[in-house]
Amino acid sequence: MGNIESELYKLIDNTQDYIQYGMISDRKLPEMMLKKEVPDSLEKIAGEVAQCSRCRLCEKRKNVVPGIGVLNPDVLVVGEGPGGDEDIQGLPFVGRAGQYLDKWLDAIGLSRHTNCFIGNVVKCRPPMNRDPQPDEIASCLPYLERQIAIIKPKFILTVGRISSAVLAGQEAGIGRLRGRTYSFRGIPLIPTYHPSAVLRDPSLRKPVWDDLRRLKAELEEIKNVH
Ligand code: URA
């Protein structure tokens, strides 16, 4: 039976089902009418984020900041949320703290251009750079979870109290959280201080350097195994 003919029979069959039962079984729908699942992608997520109004942070944003970097990165760096410079440019960690973060990464052979992905717990700037609120984090976190499932980082580096507590699943300050390796969806996670905090308090440089060295060592270990 020709293709058109068989599709026609299905259509007649469907029409009879619809008249008799008020519904059509998916099994009988012509191939072309079945809804195809579009695979998730970073572009799809970025598109959804651009339209997002799940929380109040959408009201004052200039741009969304979905994140940037490479697929299958050695490290995914997760910050708290965009600041003023990031809000203007739509890119994460591009202000003073971001430039300092780039130096940290460079010191251990990492870069957002070659082997890292950089993102945030919330994708829109909290007004006056206040902390993102728990409901804002809860609304935005599914985007980061989907991004992580796609990019598949070998390691996660959380910078600052908020991203560290959220992804490590621990309610504690960063001073107590750091120094250990946690796991997020099976991916090893190292928390450290936020670069802005270290710019304000140089005594935090030493613990950050300890965390970065440990990250490098654990990353090498993973790469040697695989
Ligand atoms: N601070 C963050 O936590 N994220 C950014 O993107 C910029 C500053």
Q: How far is the CA of 4 from the centre of ligand 1 (A)?
A: 56
The token pair that represents 151 in the structure block:
């990019």
Residue 132 and residue 21 share a domain: no
Q: Whose CA is nearest to atom 7 of ligand 1?
A: 93
Residue 13 lies in domain:
3-34
Q: Residue 20: what pLDDT?
A: 66
pLDDT given at position 39: 95
How much of the chain exceeds pLDDT 90, in percent? 82
pLDDT in tens, 101-140: 999 999 999 999 999 999 999 999 999 999 999 999 999 9
Query: Could you tell me if 78 and 7 lie in one domain?
Result: no
- What is the reported pLDDT for 36? 73
Distance 218 CA to ligand 1 centre (A): 25
pLDDT exceeds 60 at position 67: yes
Choose which residue among 89, 93, 105, 140 to substitute to test ligand 1 binding: the one with the highest number of ligand atoms within 8 A of its C-beta. Answer: 93
Report the chain's mean pLDDT, rounded to a whole number.
92
Clarify whether residues 30 and 47 are in a common domain. Answer: no
Ligand 1 centroid distance, CA of 42 (Å): 19
Give, for ligand 1, the residue of 76, 86, 102, 137 to mutate: max count of ligand atoms closer than 8 Å to Cβ. Answer: 86
Angle, CA 191 vertex, CA 80 and CA 226 arms, to 5°: 115
What is the biggest distance separating any 2 CA atoms in the chain, rounded to whole angstroms? Answer: 79
Q: Is the separation of the CB atoms in 219 and 154 below 8 Å?
A: yes
Phi, psi of 133 (to 5 degrees): -80, 155
The CATH number of residue 176's host domain is: 3.40.470.10
SS3 39: coil
Q: Rounded mean pLDDT of 60-78?
A: 98
Q: What is the count of structural domains for the chain?
A: 2
CA 194, CA 201: separation in Å to the nearest integer?
Answer: 11
Q: Kindly give the number of the ligand 1 atom that is closest to the alpha carbon of 194.
A: 3
* CA 186 / ligand 1 centre spacing (Å): 25
193 and 177, same domain (yes or no):
yes
Ligand 1: which atom is nearest the Cα of residue 120?
4
Query: CA–CA separation, 156 vs 164, rounded Å?
Result: 10
For ligand 1, mutation pick of 63, 101, 116, 120 (most atoms within 8 Å of CB): 120
Q: How far apart are CA 20 and CA 132, in angstroms?
A: 54
Q: Are 93 and 20 part of one and the same domain?
A: no
Where does the pLDDT of residue 199 fall: very low under 50, low under 70, confident under 90, or very high at 90 and above?
A: very high
The token pair at 103 is 């130096």
- 177 and 136 in one domain? yes
Q: Is there a single domain that holds both residue 24 and residue 73? A: no
pLDDT tens, position by position, 17-48: 666 666 666 555 556 566 678 899 999 999 99
Same domain, 149 and 190: yes
Residue 2 has pLDDT above 60, yes or no: no
pLDDT of residue 11: 66
Phi, psi of 212 (to 5 degrees): -65, -40
Q: What is the pLDDT of residues 147-176, one digit of tens each?
A: 999 999 999 999 999 999 999 999 999 999
Ligand 1: list residues with CB < 6 Å.
Answer: 79-83, 86, 92-93, 97-98, 120
β 187-192/68-69 pair status:
unpaired
Query: Cα 113–183–158 angle (5° rounding)?
Result: 45
Q: What is the pLDDT of residue 33?
A: 62
Average pLDDT over residues 175-189: 98
Alpha-carbon span 164 to 80, nearest angstrom: 9
Instruction: Give yes or no for residue 85 having a pLDDT over 90.
Output: yes
Based on the fold, state whether residues 105 and 24 are members of the same structural domain.
no
Q: Looking at residue 5, what is its pLDDT?
A: 72
213 against 25, higher pLDDT: 213
User: Which pTM does this prediction carry?
Assistant: 0.85
Residue 12: predicted pLDDT: 72
How far apart are the CA of 34 and the centre of ligand 1, in A? 42
Ligand 1 atom nearest 92 alpha carbon: 6
